């Protein structure tokens, strides 16, 4: 197993069979020593490119309306038990402003797939944030759109786009989503976003229903080929009103192993230790950082709406103010020897070059 980890560390390609073999050994309970070896290698790689820095993204969850019915998700259209909300453009700008003063240089605007805000309104919002704070990166995470729309938002100033592909295996995708949602379209969106020039984030849930080690190996091969700038992964966590309410959650160990393998597979990637990871384990985000993650995404939404953006049960940090969240994370990150920084936190190659042809 050590040889395969070393192979990845040297940036040598692993085959699907090798990934499956490695995953099956690493996720066995008696293998903590091997997992620690993997995490140590992952840390060495992340520190080569990002030193001890941990970048922050201020997440503004501005609408929990969604037209889709993903079987795993708490804000799916058919869930009648969600109190729906939308923030106004003024409220969103106020959150971004507060974030700036707290030290965030990236804001992420995320929502369900909500077409209430039209293309132009979203573009105006992006432009307004950039006008307010020119040194802030704007990330969008609004789901699937057509390429001209993505292009328009990019032209308005959006820098990055997060769109988890959810699974790289079409048959698995079809088990997680109703027939109206297309695997091919979601992947095409990622390709379009890359072509336009966004820093692109893909990703998937670890331990989602029906997921096998073969699927996980396919994730790593897919990511290697796509070469996204960011990869958002977190454990699947059951949501009580969803069709997957009775399925088991993804595990801490499996998620940490995947974080570390992604770090070795894509050495320069921006890799969040997600809120979902902090939800399944009180030290989940710290452990994620120690497994090779280099980003955290605390919430900047107004405290009054946070509980309503329940993608899964028992989500943490829904009762706190933004300043509290930032302070709490700073302490947590410092406790494991890393440092929360006030920087845009671009992909390392792009940070040294100029962006947008400047
Ligand atoms: N609508 C946008 C989209 O489709 O990309 C962004 C919002 S969507 C709710 C954000 C992510 O939440 C999804 O990509 C999914 O991976 C994650 N998510 C949803 N339900 C989850 C669950 N039960 N457990 C863990 N993650 C979940």
pLDDT beyond 60 at 352: no
Which atom from ligand 1 is nearest to the alpha carbon of 166?
A: 16
205 CA from centroid of ligand 1 (Å): 8
Residue 43 Cα to ligand 1 midpoint, Å, equals: 27
> How much distance in Å is there from the Cα of 311 to the middle of ligand 1?
6
Q: Answer whether residue 185 shows pLDDT above 50.
A: yes
Helices (H), the chain: 2-9, 16-26, 32-50, 89-102, 119-132, 147-156, 170-176, 183-196, 213-226, 252-265, 275-280, 284-290, 303-306, 322-335, 348-352
Mean pLDDT confidence for 155-163: 98
Q: Which of 110, 201, 205 to mutate to test the pocket of ligand 1 (most atoms within 8 A of CB)?
A: 205
Query: What is the pLDDT at residue 354?
Result: 42
Please compute the mean of the pLDDT values over residues 270-275 and round it to a whole number.
97
Q: What is the predicted pLDDT for the residue at 351? A: 66
State the pTM of this model. 0.97
Supply the mean pLDDT for the chain. 95
Higher-pLDDT residue of 326 and 238 is: 238
Ligand 1 atom having least distance to the Cα of 238: 23
pLDDT confidence of 358, banded at 50, 70, 90? Answer: very low
Q: What's the confidence (pLDDT) of residue 122? A: 98
In sequence order, the 6+-apart residues with CB closer than 8 A to the CB of 135 are 105, 344
Q: Any idea what the Cα angle at residue 298 is, between residues 113 and 74, rounded to 5°?
A: 35
| 222 vs 217: CA distance, rounded Å | 9
Q: How far is the CA of 6 from the centre of ligand 1 (A)?
A: 33
Report pLDDT digits (tens) over 5-43: 999 999 888 999 999 999 999 999 889 999 999 999 999
* High-pLDDT (> 90) share of the chain, %: 91
Q: Which atom of ligand 1 is nearest to the CA of 163?
A: 5
State residue 273's pLDDT score. 98
Q: Quick one: which atom of ligand 1 is closest to the CA of 164? A: 14
């Amino acid at each position: 197993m050590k040889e395969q980890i070393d192979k990845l560390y040297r940036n040598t390609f692993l085959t699907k069979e090798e990934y499956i073999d490695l995953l099956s050994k690493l996720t066995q309970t008696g293998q903590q020593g091997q997992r620690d070896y993997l995490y140590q290698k992952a840390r060495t790689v992340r520190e080569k490119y990002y030193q001890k820095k941990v970048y922050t993204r201020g997440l503004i969850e501005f609408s929990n309306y969604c037209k889709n019915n993903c079987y795993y998700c708490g804000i799916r259209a058919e869930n009648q038990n969600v109190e729906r909300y939308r923030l106004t453009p003024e409220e969103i700008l106020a959150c971004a402003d507060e974030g700036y003063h707290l030290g965030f240089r990236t804001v992420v605007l995320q929502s369900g797939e909500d077409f209430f805000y039209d293309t132009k309104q979203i573009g105006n919002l992006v432009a307004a944030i950039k006008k307010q704070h020119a040194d802030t990166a704007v990330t969008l995470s609004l789901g699937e759109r057509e390429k001209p729309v993505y292009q328009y938002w990019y032209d308005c100033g959006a820098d990055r786009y997060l769109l988890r592909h959810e699974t790289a295996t079409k048959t698995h995708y079809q088990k997680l989503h109703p027939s109206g949602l297309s695997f091919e379209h979601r992947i095409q969106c990622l390709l379009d976003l890359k072509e336009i020039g966004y820093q692109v984030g893909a990703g998937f849930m670890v331990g989602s229903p029906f997921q096998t080690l073969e699927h996980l190996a396919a994730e790593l091969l897919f990511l290697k080929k796509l070469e996204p700038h960011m990869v958002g992964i977190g454990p699947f966590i059951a949501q009580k009103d969803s069709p997957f309410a009775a399925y088991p959650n993804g595990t801490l160990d499996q998620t940490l192993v995947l974080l570390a393998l992604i770090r070795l597979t894509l050495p320069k990637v921006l890799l969040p230790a997600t809120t979902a990871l902090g939800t399944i384990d009180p030290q989940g985000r710290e452990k994620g950082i120690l497994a090779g993650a280099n980003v955290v995404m605390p919430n900047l939404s107004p405290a009054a709406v946070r509980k309503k953006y329940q993608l899964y049960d028992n989500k943490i940090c829904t009762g706190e103010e933004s300043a509290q969240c930032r302070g709490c994370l700073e302490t947590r990150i410092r406790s494991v020897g890393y440092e929360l920084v006030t920087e845009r936190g671009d992909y390392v190659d792009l940070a040294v070059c100029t962006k947008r042809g400047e």
